[in-house]
Amino acid sequence: MKIKVLTVKNQKDSYKAILESNPLYPDGKGGQLGDRGKVQNSNIIFVGKDYILTDNPIETGEIEVNLDLKNREDIAKQHTAQHLLSAILKDHHDLNTVGFRMSENYSTIDIDKRVTQQLIEEIEYKSNQIINEDLKVFEKTYSQDETHKLNLRKGISKKITGDVRVIYIDNLDASACGGFHVKSTLEINMIKIIKTENIKNEYMRIYYLAGKRVFNYFKELEKITNDLGNLLKTNKEDFTLKVSKLIEENDLQKKELESLYSYKAENILSNLKPIEIFGNIKIFFLEKKDNSFEYVQKSFDKNNFLFILKDEDTYKIQSDVINVGNLIKIINNKYSTKGGGGKTNGQIKGNLKLEDILQYIK
C-alpha cells in the first residue's frame, strides 16, 4: 500500500503527515482503532481522516506503507466480540448498546441499564459458548432502500450515505458496520469481561478483552499472583487467610500507634508555651515531626489563642479569636500562596515564613 505525503509538521510528541488521500482505516471510526504500521523508519501511532501521526519524521512524496496485519487481526477480534456481546445483551436480556470504544488495552460497551455482577458473568459465559459454536461471520452490501427491509439489531445511522455494509454472525446478529471482523466466531478465541462501572443516565460500561488480549491478561495475573506469593511467603491457596491475618495485625498496630500518638500529644500540649503574645492573643507554634502533632491540633484546648502547625510548606492554622479564613485571604493577596478556611480553621501553602503570617496579627 502506498500513500502520497503532501506536508509534514512537527508536533509536541509526534509528526503530522498530511496525505493527498488516505487509504488507511482511521482511529475512532465506529469506535474502532485505526491501522498501524511502518512508514520508512517511523511507526504510525494514529490515523486521522486525511493525515497520519508518526513517532519520527518522514519524507514527502509517494511512500510505501508496511501495514501491521497483526494489529488488524487484533482489532477484528475485538470488534466482532463487540457484535457478539451486543447481540447477547439485546436478544437475551433486552439491553441496548448505546456506545462502543476500542483502545490499545481494552474495549468498552455502554448499555442502557445497570445490571448485577451475576448477570455479567452469565453474559460472559454465554459469549464463550457461542464462540465455540464456530458461527460464520460474513458481510453483505445493500442499497439504502434495501436496508429498510432488513432485521438489523440497530437502526442505520443518518451519517451513512450510499450503500450499507452489513456484518452477519450466522443465526445471531446483523449490524451495519464498516470495521474489521473475523470470518468465524472461533477466531475470537475467548472473551473476558474484566470490570464494569456505572456511568451517567443510569447506564453501565462493560470493559472486555478478546483474543490474545485475554491470554496476556491471564499471563499478567499469573505474574502478579507469583509476585504476591513471594511477598507473602505463601501459595495462592492461602492468600485470603494470609492477607486477613495481615489486615488484623495492621489494625492492632494502628490502634497501638494511635494510643502512643495520643499520649505523646498530651505531653506536648501540657508543656506547650506561647511563642509570642499580642495583646490578649497567645500565639502557639509547632513544626510537625510525626503524626502525634496532628493529635495536638485536634486536642488543642487553650483560650484566646492562635495555633500554627507547620507541615513542610503548609501552615495549618486555628484560632478562637481571629477569623482564620479572612487572615488567609489577606496573606494570599500579598504572597503567591494557596489556601483557605473558615472562621476557626484553615491552611495555607507556599513559600512563606512564620513571620509573614504573624505580621498580620500584630
157 or 130, which is more confident?
Answer: 130
pLDDT at residue number 2: 92
Pairing of the two strands 305-311 and 281-287: parallel
pLDDT band per the 50, 70, 90 thresholds, residue 336 = confident
10 Å CB burial of residue 316 (0-12, 13-18, 19+) is buried
pLDDT tens-digit series, residues 214-227: 999 999 999 998 99
**Per-residue pLDDT tens digits for 23-46:** 999 999 888 999 999 999 999 999
Cell (9 digits) for 209:
478483552
Q: Are 207 and 107 in contact (CB under 8 A)?
A: yes
Q: What is the pLDDT of residues 120-149, one digit of tens each?
A: 999 999 999 999 999 999 999 999 888 888
Mean pLDDT for the chain overall: 92
Q: What number is the average pLDDT over the span 68-74? A: 96
Tell me the three state secondary structure of residue 210.
strand
List the chain domain ranges. 2-67, 72-218, 267-358
For the residues 274-280, what does the mean pLDDT come to? 89
Q: Which amino acid is at 232?
A: L
Check if CATH label 3.40.47.10 holds for domain 72-218.
Answer: no
Pick the CATH number of 267-358 from 1.10.3470, 2.40.128, 3.40.390, 3.10.310: 3.10.310
Inter-residue contact 22 to 53 (CB < 8 Å):
no
The answer to whether the beta carbons of residues 27 and 50 sit under 8 Å apart is no
| Strand duo 61-67 + 97-102: pairing | unpaired
The pLDDT of residue 348: 95
Residue 161's pLDDT band (cuts 50, 70, 90): confident
53-82 burial, b if ≥16 CB within 10 A, otherwise e?
A: bbeeebeeeebebebbeebbebbbbbbbbb
Q: What is the pTM of this model?
A: 0.72
The H-assigned helical ranges of 185-291 are 212-232, 239-270
State whether residue 17 is helix, strand or coil: strand
The DSSP H or E segment spanning 130 is helix 117-131
Span 2-67: which CATH code?
Answer: 2.40.30.130
Measure the CA–CA gap between 201 and 21, rounded to whole angstroms.
Answer: 40
Residue 157 DSSP class: P
Residue 184 DSSP label: B
pLDDT digits (tens, 9 = 90+) for 235-269: 888 888 888 998 999 999 989 888 888 888 888 88
Q: What is the pLDDT of residue 19?
A: 95
